[in-house]
A and B are shown apart, each in its own frame.
Chain A
């Protein structure tokens, strides 16, 4: 239904000595029907980017296009977008039905049609029984659904969501993730979704745009971003526990940094069974965390370079204990190489 294109977007807040660049020359194309995730730590500029698509902020430089129409100077209501806020932004004095109807009322749609559309949107999200209640009488999850219903009621071309799940508890968040993916499939429209939670990014997005300090670090399918992170930042931001970064100097090449995911570190028992062609690092175990299905071994390097390592191991006998000196080994095909200075991925 709609495609969103950002061209060289820069946003600077304040001026003079207090100027702060929130978004720095970001170009991004979100094709029709895509579920695009804007992922980054708090303060990275992802919400600002979303707000510029919504029309709540004006870009300092660059252009926003929706369906090839430049919308920089177009009011939000004419952009055909709907936004879901982190706080849900429900009107506490209106009933659920009135909340959902509000975007239609603003557009001058008649009472009967409004009620029917609100009813339909409420049904989609299982809110039928709550139409007469006020938001204050609903649980967090129900409120979140009302906010979603208010967004879908108008059938907008683009959905903008600003961390809509961050106020839910872990269980509900998991359920709602799946529902949002389902909703995206049913509505068949374009989603632009901001989050700092890499699990949400991995599980929901058709593509992920990783943003750091206002700059776009990498855009790609979730698995692709996980498998081939474009920078040390992306490598460490996606995946829990984060990727281990080992100074190349340890292995004889100071111009690179090596990245190895915790699941790719193996304990070298000294019998040569770990195979050749990779690398080895000696470390002292700091802590062992038993998670049931796996064990996390946290260790620090034996040099004075502050190297910290985490290994994900199967819960088998023969695991080291705190204080043990161990040797971790990893295969060459699991090694990511980054430029030591810029942090960018080396081919």
Chain B
């Protein structure tokens, strides 16, 4: 016990740097967001008066926030399953000991080194109705690629943003799932094979359950990332097409240059706090829901 007490001062000293970073970059902004969320400010942001916690419920009930929440949830519903299925599928395909497979592994994981901004630009050009390659190639099957263009059609703008977002996130999923696959003992596959299990049975009885920790992790990360989607929207659609605001996600409502609340610090802060709470609820629900079915032991 004495020894423990003696260890406290050096332990604190060693914790100071990370605690300082956390305090300045995480705790302080979070607290400020809560405080600002209770204020109503003028456009300069200097003169504020306190309107209380009521503002959170006002923002929550507002038409704009509800619309943005719907867009964000739809985006998550598109990107999370698609990203997961594609990532697992590609990782399983690339987890074969074939000649030249290294090239595909590199290609599939390459988007991890691509910033969202670059990914968005790539897709912006690909989908551009006048000069875009995809528009030229496929407009006979999907006319809206040319007229008015996927990103300009209120019905397809959000799926198009989702497409870019899934592509940009694929490398990360691929790497995490590949690492998970390599942790699965070969014996399990061989045993199942000798017992007569075909490849689909081996996938559902060995691969999927053994990947469950990686899949849970990826699901939580992809969901959080989907709820925080801002850069793709800003670069691809600017929250439009308007007047439907088909791609105005909650982060875009908060920060976007075309947002109706862009000059109101109090409303922005309240919306940001609500987004934080929503993300937290999702993460908790996912962890609780999967906890029992996730297999951590070897």
Closest to B185 in A: A87
B: contact size bracket: 20 to 34
Whether a CB of chain A sits under 8 angstroms from the CB of B49 is: no
Residues of A in contact, count (CB < 8 Å): 25
Closest CB of chain B to A109's CB: distance in Å?
A: 11
Task: Decide yes or no whether A85 CB sits under 8 A from chain B.
Answer: yes
Alpha-carbon gap, A89 to B206, bound state (A): 11
Residues in A with CB closer than 8 Å to B187 are: 85-87, 89
A126-184 residues with Cβ-Cβ distance < 8 A to B are: 134-136, 150, 154, 160
Residue from B188, B196, B212 in contact with A76 in the complex, judged by beta carbons closer than 8 Å: B196
Given contacts A87-B185, A136-B297, contact A55 B194 (CB under 8 A): yes
Whether A89 pairs with B185 at a CB distance below 8 angstroms is yes
Does A328 belong to the interface (CB within 8 Å)?
no
Asked if B190 contacts A56 (CB within 8 A), the reply is yes
**Chain A residue with the shortest CB-CB distance to B208:** A93
Say what secondary structure dominates the interface of chain B.
helix
Residues 173-214 of B, flagged 1 when their CB comes within 8 A of A and 0 if not, give 000000000000101101111111100010001100110100
Q: Is A93 a contact partner of B194 (Cβ separation < 8 A)?
A: no
Known contacts A87-B185, A87-B187, A102-B205; is A92 also within 8 Å of B194 by CB? no
Asked if A83 meets B191 with Cβ closer than 8 Å, knowing A91-B206, A92-B297, A134-B297, the reply is yes
Pairwise interchain contact B197-A83, C-beta atoms closer than 8 A: no
Of residues 182 to 231 in A, which have CB atoms within 8 Å of B's CB atoms?
none
Q: Interface 1/0s, chain A 278-313, versus B by CB < 8 A? A: 000000000000000000000000000000000000
Question: Could you say which of B187, B196, B298 has the most chain A C-beta atoms within 10 Å of its C-beta?
Answer: B196
- B295 located at the interface, meaning its Cβ lies under 8 Å from any Cβ of chain A in the complex: yes
> Which residues of chain B in 109-133 are interfacial with respect to chain A, using CB atoms and an 8 Å cutoff?
none
A77 touches B297 (CB 8 A): no
In the complex, residue of chain A having the shortest beta-carbon distance to the beta carbon of B295: A93
B199-236 residues at the A interface, CB under 8 angstroms: 201, 205-206, 209-210, 212
- From A84, which residue of chain B is reached at the shortest CB distance? B191
B196 touches A77 (CB 8 A): yes
Cβ–Cβ < 8 Å partners of A93 in chain B: 209-210, 212, 295
- Number of A-B residue pairs, CB cutoff 8 Å, is 62
A residues less than 8 Å from B298 (CB atoms): 92, 136
Q: Is A265 an interface residue (CB 8 A)?
A: no
Q: Closest CB-CB distance, A132 to chain B, in whole Å?
A: 15
Central interface residue in B185, B195, B201, B206, by most chain A CB within 10 Å: B195
Contact B195 A106 (CB under 8 A): yes
Q: Chain B's nearest CB lies how many Å from the CB of A142?
A: 15
- In the complex, what's the smallest C-beta–C-beta distance from B110 to chain A, in angstroms? 30
Q: Is A89 a contact partner of B190 (Cβ separation < 8 A)?
A: yes
How many angstroms between the C-alpha atoms of A107 and B192 in the bound complex? 12
Of the residues A81, A87, A134, contact of B194 by C-beta under 8 Å: A81
A103 to B191, alpha carbons, bound, how many Å?
10
A77–B190 touching, CB < 8 Å = no
**Complex Cα gap A107–B295 (Å):** 25
Q: How many angstroms between the C-alpha atoms of A77 and B195 in the bound complex?
A: 6
* Contacts A92-B297, A93-B210, A136-B297; A82 near B194 (Cβ below 8 A): yes
Inter-chain contact A106/B201, CB cutoff 8 Å: yes
Name the residue on B nearest A55 (C-beta). B194
CB distance from A77 to the nearest CB of B (A): 3
**Contact residues in A for B191 (Cβ distance below 8 Å):** 83, 85, 89
Chain A's closest residue to B206 (CB) is A91
Chain A residue numbers with a CB within 8 Å of B196 are 76-77, 103, 106-107
Q: Is the CB of B197 within 8 A of A106?
A: yes
In the complex, A134→B295 CA distance in Å? 11
Question: Distance (Å) between the CB of A16 and the closest chain B CB?
Answer: 13
User: How does the 8 Å CB contact mask read for A79-123 relative to B, with 1 for contact and 0 for none?
Assistant: 001110111010111000000001100110000000000000000
A125 to B171 alpha-carbon distance, docked (Å): 47
Known: A87-B185, A92-B297, A93-B295. A76 touches B201 (CB 8 A): no
Which residue, of A92, A136, A150, has the highest number of chain B Cβ atoms within 10 A?
A92
- Chain B residue at minimal CB-CB distance from A108: B196
Q: Which residues of A contact B190 (CB under 8 A)?
A: 56, 83, 85, 89
Among B188, B194, B295, point to the contact of A77 (Cβ < 8 A): B194
Q: In the complex where A87-B185, A87-B187, A92-B298 touch, is A102 in contact with B194 (Cβ < 8 A)? A: no
Interface check A54, CB cutoff 8 A: yes
Give 3 nearest A-B pairs by CB, closest first: A77-B196, A89-B191, A89-B187
> Can you offer 15 A-B residue contacts whose CB atoms are under 8 A?
A55-B194, A77-B195, A77-B196, A83-B194, A85-B191, A87-B187, A89-B188, A89-B190, A89-B191, A92-B210, A102-B195, A102-B205, A103-B195, A136-B298, A160-B194
Taking Cβ atoms with an 8 Å cutoff, the residues of B that contact A are: 185, 187-188, 190-197, 201, 205-206, 209-210, 212, 295, 297-298
Residues of A within 8 A of B (CB): 54-56, 76-77, 81-83, 85-87, 89, 91-93, 102-103, 106-107, 134-136, 150, 154, 160
Other A-B pairs, 16, CB within 8 Å; known A56-B190, A102-B197: A76-B194, A85-B191, A86-B187, A89-B185, A89-B191, A91-B188, A91-B205, A91-B209, A92-B210, A103-B196, A106-B192, A106-B195, A106-B197, A106-B201, A134-B297, A160-B194
